[in-house]
Structure 1
Amino acid sequence: MRIFSILAALVVSAALALFILDRPRLVALFAGDVTRTQETADPETDVADNAEKTSLVKVVVQKSVARQIDTAVELRGQTEAARTVDVRAETSATVVSPPLRKGTRVETGEMLCQLDEGTRGTALAQARAQLEEARARVPEAEARLNQSIAQLEEAKINQNASTKLSAGGFASTTRVANSDAAVATAEAGVESARAGLQASQSGIQSAQAGVASAEKEIERLTITAPFGGLLESDTAELGTLLQAGSLCGTIIQLDPIKLVAFVPETEVARISLGAQAVARLVSGGTALTGGPEARGSEVRGHVTFLSNSADPTTRTFRVEIEVHNSDSKIRDGQTAEILISAEGATAHLLPQSALTLNDEGTLGVRTINADAIVEFHPVALMRDSVDGVWLTGLDETVNVIVLGQEYVIAGVQVAPTFRELGQ
């Protein structure tokens, strides 16, 4: 019985060894794969062909055709308020208005701080009185000028008459001299009257300047918002003494808001003014390359500024993107992942699993040619998506090994099985 058990074990072992080591020939033997006739087949050639086919590594291949896609410059930046201003006092006075709290929305021209008028109203009334007084002097000065002009005309008439009478021997030289002196005196009176009129007019201008200065001083007592926005700080507290230059409050404008990033010099040529851009705040969830489900919270805008001068330290160029923010949900200083559209490129969409490394550590894919010989092609990764990765550096049409590429090297022949794109 023991000998029988040993013999049975040997037979089973031999059968398993034959099944594992020479399975194709065993299958062909039992399936009757000996249908070739003696006249048309050479047994030795069949054995060689079967052995060669059995030794080839089987791989799965996908045919890929390059497609034109939009490329983008990927940057990391931050949001920045369109405008930020510290509103300060232009005169010294005490605050008489209750403060507005930080976060309050204010409109253009809205009062932020009201200062005590003090004696400024009295100074304005005095300046206006001086203006009225100066204006009252003008008619008097004009009357004096007209009177002086009339006296000058009369003196000239008397001078003319004296000269003619003296020429005819009817008047003495003394009379002529007196008429000449009267003309000179009248001319001096005219000049004096004109100077008085000019002084009256200058007095009006000086009084007007005084009124304008007093009115401006009173206007400075009301500190208003230069533009619409949000208060970033409380306004000055009631009773606070503000000096010229003291802070009343800080206003920040968030609509529209800017996205600011710095472009390396290797990428700056791909960006142009007006280019479309899409960004995602880091706090907003998945990255931009995370697929269609990430588009709900994307913000879009266009490039409004591209610096012509590089930062001397980083050798990068500042780029600004304007984004609408009517609901003020985007805050100043948030980190943002930005994609700026650039000129399109030709790329292949392949499964990420198709990527591999050669012996030098170069990223690429393995393909087969018409003779099923494996080739290695370095590639550049453009972007990834839920459907795969977009790669450049390949021919327009290639047969890429998507399964089994890690078990073959360039130059060997394989047994390919083609797979459709939808599989």
Structure 2
Amino acid sequence: MDLKETQHSPRRRNFVSIIAAGLASLVLIVWIISGKTYQSVDSDHSPAIKAMPTSTIPSLPRVQTYELSAKTFTPKLILQGTLSPSHQVQVYARTSSQIQERPAKLGQWIEQGEMLVQLDTETRRALVEKAEADVYLHRSELEAGERLFKNRLLSEHEKLRLRASAAASEAALADAKLALAHTRIKAPIAGFVNSLPLDIGELVQPGDVIATITDTRNLKVKAYVTQQDVGRMSLGNPLKVTLLDGRTFFGEVTFIANLADVATRSYAIEANINNPDGLRIAGASATLEIVLPEVLSHRIPPSLLSLDPSGQIGILAVNNEQVVVFHPLTLISFDTDYAQVIGLPDTLEIITLGAGFTQPGDKVEPHLQESPL
């Protein structure tokens, strides 16, 4: 460092000190002035400050409500069921013989009394002829015995034996004629020939299945209803049956089981529907829409439903004292948009917004909405 720089450094330091002192004085003056200004402002508003309360009363929770009224509703019960023929009969052989003719054709419509199968009659006719001869013989013996008995040439015991033999021969003749009649196997009901398992020439025995006759002009639809819903049903309830392809049929409930199924604990129901065209729908699955009696119910969006601590479904509402109340209810019908419920008062003010911040017993500030749910 040279001598010249050493001589000027004290002067610079003095100059900087003077400037710093001046700035500090200016800041101090500004602070003092501003303090007086704030004090004046505070003094002007001091009455307002003194008038402010030291504590505030908390406001009631605000909820949005809607006045809900009961209306007439026709509930419908939706079930899944199966269609079956109202009449289906398996025809059995009642005598042993060989199939001689089979006039019935598989799948054809056959009237009641028409012949399905003709069995061989040769053996049966021979048995009938033999039985007729036996009857003639025993009747002749009985007539002769009665003449001898009148002349006291025959004991009463022998006469009774001849009478019993004659009666037995007549019974044998009746059996032989019946066996001959059983060689003509006829349709017991009108319907479609659904099976013909045996062919001409085959030997049949009593109990063999000859044919299956199915009447599909009248159908029976069977379904199962839960324990909760069976009490709402009654005989004669109208219903609509919809097939998978969209075809619909109409009928009414004809049977409701009095005992629940052991496995499912549900109750079987049946209904009859007409199928005059004989459409091939027996055995198909179907959806049943059963119309139940009209009731007074409320229509509520499912999002407003809630559960109480015990698991009971219900809805929160506000009573006349503006207190939150839980009303239990019963669902009778629902979809993604609305639920139809019963068990509520005819008219009530339900909470539509803010229910999550309240509980039964809370006092609230309700605001009634005008727009529908």
- TM-score (normalised: structure 2): 0.65
Cα deviation for residue 211 of structure 1 reads 1.1
3-state secondary structure, aligned to 1:383? strand
Per-residue CA shift, 1:341-360, capped at 9, x if unaligned?
A: 5554321246x5x7456799
Residue 121 (structure 1) shift: 1.1
Q: How does 1:139-218 map to 2 (within 5 A)?
A: 139-148=143-152, 189=153, 192-218=154-180
The reply to whether residue 280 of structure 1 matches residue 280 of structure 2 is: no
User: Take 1:80 and 1:410, find their aligned partners in 2: how far apart are those partners?
Assistant: 55
- What is the aligned partner in structure 1 of residue 288 from structure 2? 338
* Secondary structure class of the residue paired with 1:120: helix
- The structure 2 residue matched to 1:248, chosen from 206, 210, 214, is 210
Cα distance in 2, alignment partners of residues 119 and 68 from structure 1: 74
Which letter does structure 1 place at the counterpart of 2:69? Answer: V
Q: What is the DSSP-based 3-state SS (H/G/I as helix, E as strand, rest coil) of the residue aligned with 1:83?
A: strand
Alignment of 1:350-365 (within 5 A): 355-356=303-304
Distance 1:417 1:398 in 2: 13
8 Å contact from structure 1 (residues 372, 415) kept in 2? no
**Against the structure 1 CA distance between its residues 373 and 141, is the aligned structure 2 distance closer, same or farther, given a 3 Å change threshold?**
closer
Alignment size in residue pairs: 306
Aligned-pair CA distance for 1:380: 5.3
User: How far is the alpha carbon of 1:128 from its aligned partner?
Assistant: 0.9
So what's the TM-score if we normalise by structure 1? 0.59
CA shift, 1:113, in A, is 1.0
| Structure 2 letter corresponding to 1:336 | A
What is the deviation of 1:397?
Answer: 2.8
Task: Select which of 315, 318, 337 maps to 2:268.
Answer: 318
Q: Which residue of 2 aligns with 1:22?
A: none
Segments of structure 1 that go 5 or more residues without pairing to the other structure are: 1-55, 149-188, 286-295
Write the deviation string for residues 199-253 of structure 1: whole angstroms up to 9, x where unpaired: 3322321221221121111111111122222222235322222233222111223
Could you tell me whether the CA contact under 8 Å between 1:101 and 1:235 is conserved in 2?
Answer: no
More helix by share: 1
Matches within 5 A, 1:14-413: 64-98=68-102, 100-148=104-152, 189=153, 192-234=154-196, 236-272=198-234, 274-285=235-246, 297-308=248-259, 310-329=260-279, 331-340=281-290, 342=292, 344-349=294-299, 355-356=303-304, 381-383=331-333, 389-392=339-342, 394-398=344-348
The alignment partner of 2:125 has SS state of: helix
Q: Secondary structure at the match of 1:418?
A: coil
Separation (CA, whole Å) in 2 of partners of 1:370 and 1:198: 100
Matches of 2:249 and 2:337, distance apart in 1: 20
CA drift of 1:299 comes to 1.9
Report deviation, 1:99. Answer: 5.2
Q: 1:1-16 to 2 correspondence within 5 Å?
A: none
Residues 123 and 379 from structure 1, CA distance in 2 versus in 1: closer, same or farther, beyond 3 angstroms? closer
Q: Compared with structure 1, are the counterparts of its residues 64 and 362 closer, same or farther at alpha carbon in structure 2 (3 Å cutoff)?
A: same
Residues 89 and 248 in structure 1, CA contact (< 8 A), matched pair in contact too: yes
- In the alignment, residue 331 of structure 1 is paired with which amino acid? I
Q: Which amino acid aligns with 1:252?
A: T
Identity, % of aligned positions: 24
| Structure 2: gaps (5+ residues) | 1-61, 359-363
Q: Distance in 2 between matches of 1:349 and 1:222?
A: 65
Checking the alignment, whether the CA contact within 8 Å between 1:99 and 1:238 is kept in structure 2 is no
- Letter of the 2:113 counterpart: G
Moved more, 107-116 or 314-323: 314-323
Contact 1:115–1:222 at 8 Å: present in 2 too?
A: yes
Asked if 2 retains the 8 angstrom alpha-carbon contact of 1:260 and 1:318, the reply is: yes
